[in-house]
Structure 1
Amino acid sequence: MKLGVFSVLFAQKSLEETLDYIKSKGLDAIEIGTGGYPGNAHCDPDALLADESKLQAFKDAVESRGITISALSCHGNPLHPQKDIASADDAVIRKTIQLASKLGVTVVNTFSGCPGDHEGAKYPNWPIAPWPNDFQDILKWQWEEKIIPYWTEIGKLAAENNVKIGLELHGGFSVHSPATLLRLREAAGDAIGANLDPSHMWWQGIDPVQAIHILGRAGAIHHFHAKDTSIDPINVNHHGVTDMQSYSLMLDRAWQFRTVGYGHDLKTWADIISALRLVGYDYVVSIEHEDGLMSVDEGFTKAVQNLQQILIREPLGEMWWV
């Protein structure tokens, strides 16, 4: 396995400064934003696709430092009921797939998106209960008319470009759990898989180790984010796991994102890393920092220190004791 980072943390730095910084921390890989919510501070698909010299300079900057690009990431909502929002996010996904193909990057990370509840809707609608039955009707319409058709098309485009799509299982979007990911993968093809982030499993009440087993046995883990979550035992009984309070209200929230090791101990994280190896995932573990109690530098540095202790780096050898 390789240790990497989602470079959106360092949007205020140049690409070269970011690469030098993460190299100094002993990292092997970088995940780079190309638009959507992550922005494109380090990688503008329009500029790189239009100019071969800029594309080559970009490749040289990364390769000369011995760093791998684990994924290009363009998280957005290509299924948004407002057509201008959906079209913009869809365009970024398509350009990112094209750019990934040119760069030899095998994974494009994004969100599944979430449609509205009918053709004239203005905002996304995320049903989370089977009753009243209206929610089932909305969910059926979303999957049959929007989610499956769109991702079947994108899955084919990705496969044609030798790229895999890593959908981050995130609350508020249609694909947010192992079951919803596997449902879409069955319908849209094997190019569709997960960018699995355990932080979003924990707050939904899903054990990340079991999620790894469920998805890994299906060959459906394309990328992995390293981010932690802590759940407040008192506040969760007040607000529930679907707490809608701002992330900034950390004292009152039911749960909050933490850097690796500050929500769950390193034994839990070692179990996660071991489960990844067990199901055959030997790709990049990409650090994502969204810890409101730590600066970017401190949170990132502690995540690196903690993960370096437990990451399984060497390839499997023969079982000499068998």
Structure 2
Amino acid sequence: MKLGLLTACLGAQSLEEVAAWASQAGYEALEIATWPKGTGHVHQAAHLDVAHFSAADAERVRELLDRYSLTVPALTYCDNNLHPDDRRREAIHRHLRSVVDAAAALRVPYVCTFVGRDVTLPVADNLKLAERHLRPLAEYAAGRGVGLLAENCPMEGWHPDGYPGNLAYSPELWDWMSGLGFRLTYDPSHLPWLGIDPIDALRYALRRGMVAHVQAKDVEIDERARTRHGVFGKTAERSSPTDVGWWRYRVPGRGVIDWNRVIDTLYDHGYDGTVAVEHEDPVWGGPLPRIHQGLRIAAATLRPFITPETGDASSP
């Protein structure tokens, strides 16, 4: 198992700058963010220009990663693959296919994305839409030796009333999406506020061979505030889609997730992939030095539980 980080939080830095910093900070892998250039969101970076990715670019990136002894478990582009606007949805799919092509060129095994949802339609209609739109994407990736993964993020900010906007948020839906050719990017931070036990859900997914990649993000919960707002969060008082009022994302070690049990469960079921820190912590966001400190807190929390690879079969 390797300790990695998702590069999305470091959009102000080049991939080489990210690699250099991550290596000296004790990280072993980069989950590379590949949103379209100019997206602009603080957690959406373009560390590879996949729309114009050449064989020379692939060679340059491989040399860079080798220089810093880093691996890449996945490229990541999470957008709404069931977007209600036909033109917008096709643009998302076109970019996702470019991410898959870049992953194939780099010999990266997975691309992380979302299922998404057409929030104008009920879930039953969305399941039919997914059969039409998602299965061809999974087949496109498989034909290039790449697996498509869906993260279990609810994306409640995509729904006008704060309901799940990404139909991969529960174990019931993990079974469904596996039938479309998707496996799971497991992120435990999305589960406690939904009332789902993250360890039970992880065991369930591991037993079924669904977990291909793990993101490490924590969640801080204020149960007294939940009493005021309810499980779906603020309504009239909400200032932004993410202003739910009773929970917020944190770096590992600053929330309620039991990382000792999460990592031990992964080892117990033979998971040998990457655990990649996803930094969306508002306390440790903002200027680059604070983001770096948040990533150091995450590494210090997780490293005692993840045995680094030594290359020595006799090592414990």
TM-score (normalizing by structure 2): 0.86
* Contact 2:113/2:149 (8 A) holds in 1: yes
* Contact 2:10/2:18 (8 A) holds in 1: yes
* Contact 2:221/2:256 (8 A) holds in 1: no
RMSD of aligned residue pairs (Cα, Å): 2.3
Unaligned runs of 5+ in 1: 118-124, 126-137
Alignment length, in residue pairs? 291
**1:280 is paired with a residue of what secondary structure?**
coil
The answer to which of 211-220 and 175-184 deviates more is 175-184
Cα offsets for 1:188-224 (capped at 9, x unmatched): 13xx111111110122111111111111111001111
Cα offsets for 1:272-314 (capped at 9, x unmatched): 0011112221100000111111231221110011111111446
**Equivalence for 1:264:** 256
**Equivalence for 2:247:** 255
Q: Distance in 1 between matches of 2:239 and 2:168?
A: 22
**Equivalence for 2:93:** 90
Inter-CA distance 5–154: structure 2 relative to 1 (3 Å threshold): same
**Equivalence for 1:297:** 292
Q: Does 1:157 align with 2:140?
A: yes
Q: Distance in 2 between matches of 1:306 and 1:204?
A: 24
**Equivalence for 1:148:** 131
Q: Does 1:309 align with 2:301?
A: no
Q: Distance in 1 between matches of 2:93 and 2:112?
A: 13
Inter-CA distance 298–248: structure 2 relative to 1 (3 Å threshold): farther
Unaligned runs of 5+ in 2: 155-164, 285-289
2:48 is matched with which residue: 26, 43, 52? 43
* Contact 2:193/2:231 (8 A) holds in 1: yes
Q: Distance in 1 between matches of 2:26 and 2:188?
A: 23
Q: Give % identity.
A: 28
Extract structure 1 runs of 4+ deviating beyond 3 A: 36-40, 244-250, 312-315
Cα offsets for 1:103-132 (capped at 9, x unmatched): 100010011010244xxxxxxx5xxxxxxx
**Equivalence for 1:28:** 28
Q: Distance in 1 between matches of 2:140 and 2:132?
A: 13
Inter-CA distance 227–40: structure 2 relative to 1 (3 Å threshold): closer
Larger RCO (CA under 8 A, 6+ residues apart)? 2
Matched AA of 1:14:
S
2:192 is matched with which residue: 191, 194, 202? 202
Q: Distance in 2 between matches of 1:196 and 1:9?
A: 19
Q: Cα offset for 1:67?
A: 0.4
Matched AA of 1:44:
D
Q: Distance in 2 between matches of 1:282 and 1:246?
A: 41
